[in-house]
Structure 1
Amino acid sequence: MHQIADLISIFETIFYQSHNTRLIKGVHEPIYTPANADTPYHQIVFAHGFYASALHEIAHWLVAGDKRRLLEDYGYWYCPDGRDKAQQAEFEAVEVKPQAIEWALSVAASFEFNVSVDNLNGEQTCRFDFQKRVHQQLLQLIKNGFNPRTTALLKALSDFYNTPWPLTATQFVWQHPQEFSNAV
């Protein structure tokens, strides 16, 4: 049901002409590269052809402002897996908004979403606390509105996958597993 070619086509239809940006199926790690002498368009390269990776990398692009989109990987340094507690806390703070947008994109595409703490070989943190922060950010975005690029893509995904539009908070109900077990 979820063909990467469909997502690439939807993205290109909306953003290639207006933002000179293409979604590219990569072989290795994801990266964003601005247009340069070798490639006349910006590239959102996602990992291994995975649909979830594409949604995640798109979410980062949707968060990035005009100036950040002129910098490789938006000018951020990525601290790889194996982060200590302080590095992981910083990683999660930066990831809240992109993952909230990724969650919205996933719902619009009728695709399962899972938060990612992306630190298998490092300090373990509570995934559920992070998911709660992502959920709270998502509810704020729904209440206050997404930026125009995000709205355009959400609407296109909703149209393509025939999911409810506009998105509402009731589509994103989440309970911490402990809260769920206490309610039963």
Structure 2
Amino acid sequence: MQQNTETHQLDDIIQLFNQCFYAEFNTKLVKGGDEPIYLPANDDVPYHAIYFARGFYSSALHEIAHWLVAGKERRKLEDFGYWYEPDGRSEQRQRDFEQAEVKPQALEWILSTAANFRYFASSDNLNGEVGDTMPFKLAVYEQVKSYAEKGLPKRAETLRKSLCAFYGTEDKIDVAKFDVSRI
């Protein structure tokens, strides 16, 4: 997988996302600051905004994946109404965090593969007790396999197909391309 700034331009992922979803869902992908956040439309901003962190392509894919998992009611709430405990979580709180991250990270991995971009599982707990991450990685992999077998939700499939077309990758989820030992 590539991670080439020439190949993976932020303007491209922003444009692809916005082309796929702005008209129907009034949602835009926006380059953000230090921390990612999802903000529903309000009196000041007439559209829902997914702000990804520090201009990182991987952050854009990760935040998009959270939006793809969120249902209609959650998309009305700031950060989809999810709890977030910052860096420094205990090992038990880390396991809770990972459980909530399985589906979004499986989608992120699928989207990354469609974009020919390297995916790394994220524990997002640099100053805390990460513990053994292999069970989490295996859960993400199992979710990828489930999506490959049962199909993606409609919005996720729309973006996956768009990424495949743009980056010239194979338009299917080939489980053989997903290696848990490399994430």
**TM-score band w.r.t. shorter chain:** over 0.9
Question: How far apart, CA to CA, are the structure 2 residues paired with 1:117 and 1:125?
Answer: 10
CA distance in 2, matches of 1:117, 1:38: 34
Matched, 1:12 2:43: no
**Percent identical residues:** 51
The corresponding residue for 2:64 is 58
Following TM superposition, by how much is the alpha carbon of 1:130 offset from its aligned partner in structure 2, in angstroms? Answer: 1.3
Query: Which residue is equivalent to 1:72?
Result: 78
Give the alignment's Cα RMSD to 1 decimal: 1.3
Q: Which one-letter code corresponds to 2:127 in the other structure?
A: N
Other structure's SS at 2:38 match: strand
**Which one of the candidate residues 86, 90, 93 is aligned to 2:99?**
93
Partner of 1:22, secondary structure, is strand
The answer to which structure, 1 or 2, has the higher relative contact order (CA under 8 A, 6+ apart) is: 2
Residue by residue over 1:44-80, the C-alpha shift from the partner in whole angstroms, topping out at 9 and shown as x without a partner, is 0000000000000000000000000000000112111
Q: Which runs of 5+ in 1 are unaligned?
A: 178-184
Distance 1:124 1:163 in 2: 34
Partner residue, 2:36: 30
Q: Secondary structure at the match of 1:66?
A: coil
CA distance in 1, matches of 2:85, 2:58: 20
Q: 2:130 aligns with which of 124, 129, 148?
A: 124
User: What TM-score do the two structures reach when normalised by structure 2?
Assistant: 0.94
**Structure with the greater alpha carbon radius of gyration:** 1
Letter in 2 for 1:123: E
Measure, in 1, the Cα distance between the counterparts of 2:38 and 2:134: 28
Distance across 2 between alignment mates of 1:105 and 1:124: 25
Runs of 4+ aligned structure 1 residues displaced above 2 Å come to: 173-177
- Give, as a single letter, the amino acid of the residue that structure 2 aligns with 1:21: T
Q: TM-score normalised to the size of structure 1?
A: 0.93
**1:103 alignment partner in structure 2:** 109
Mapped to 1, the partners of 2:181 and 2:30 lie a distance apart of 35
Q: Give the total of aligned pairs.
A: 177
- Separation (CA, whole Å) in 2 of partners of 1:67 and 1:128: 32
**Structure 2 residue identity aligned to 1:59:** A
Paired amino acid for 1:50: F
Q: Which runs of 5+ in 2 are unaligned?
A: 1-6
Q: Distance in 2 between matches of 1:87 and 1:27?
A: 26
SS at match of 2:99: helix
| Distance (Å, rounded) in 2 between the aligned partners of 1:51 and 1:72 | 22
